[in-house]
Structure 1
Amino acid sequence: MYGKHTFRRRVVSAWSCGIVALLSLSVPAAWAQERPTQVIDLRVEGNERMTPEAIFSHVKTRLGQAYSEDVIRADKQALLDTGHFTSVVVTKTQTDKGIVVTFIVTERPLVTKLMFIGNKAFSDNKLAGELPFGPADPVNPANVNAGREALEAKYKSSGYHFATVTVDKTALA
């Protein structure tokens, strides 16, 4: 008879441990599900010339919507694609009320002056009109290279087949 009670106690004890283990696994999952995933604030840091409104016009993340890593990745790329920034970092801060998204940007320097040295065939204004950028535009290496190629094409199409165009990289820094 003593053996039956011991067995019953062990079975009840095993069931109790199993139930406690299951509950302990489900409680953190329930807590994790209750954390708000709604975007409650959008912030910008590092901007010097572009207003936050101008920056937000390029992103899809909005106040009140659910936070999405996919949308954030697309927002980061969209900001880089504007050509105004050398880097964009996005941080996510979880609060009791929801998520704060911060875009930390580093703006490119601006073109302050165009100089054409050694040019005798065309006016500076004519050459400047061939460039895909001008004063007050961000210094974008892709645009600078496209401008160099456009100027070489202009010279070659005008019969200056041996003309070369170089960019002073130190002046771009």
Structure 2
Amino acid sequence: MIRSRNQALLAVALSLLSVSAYADVVWPALYLEVRQWSWWVIGFGLLAEFPFVKYAFVLTNRRAAFATIVANGLSAILGVVLIPLAGIAWEVFPASLYMRALHWGTFNPITWIASILLAVTINTVVEAAVYKHAFKFQFSRREWMLVFAANAVSVGAVFISLLVVPYKP
């Protein structure tokens, strides 16, 4: 009994230690994801994507607004995990190859471009799935490209905001 109690106390102590731990590892995709949760980015993204969705699927204002909010909501929730993971995957390969050869660190132009394209693609895939499966919208290459363009505007705004007002942890 004493042994199991000691193990339980050790587990609790280790859990509490991790609460005060801070990560000191960052990469561009993580910066993008953190900024995507800013209230003004969310508002801008919804306003920017609304006309694309309305036009792509020929919807009323109310239906386009609802579909945009639902798709972007799910995209934001899943993006919290998927965008940083995609960024880590990029850092492992192929970024590790060119960064070593060029003597570059993580925050370089190629990695920023890749992070933006990964974020746009992830958001597009999630939102397209919502539009196609939850709303039963017809989807062709045209609609895919319009949703991709809408997400490029949203993620582009996030990137520009990082240039104008850099992230300060």
Q: Tell me, yes or no, whether TM beats 0.5.
A: no
Q: Which has the higher strand share?
A: 1
Relative contact order (C-alpha < 8 Å, sep 6+): which is higher?
A: 2
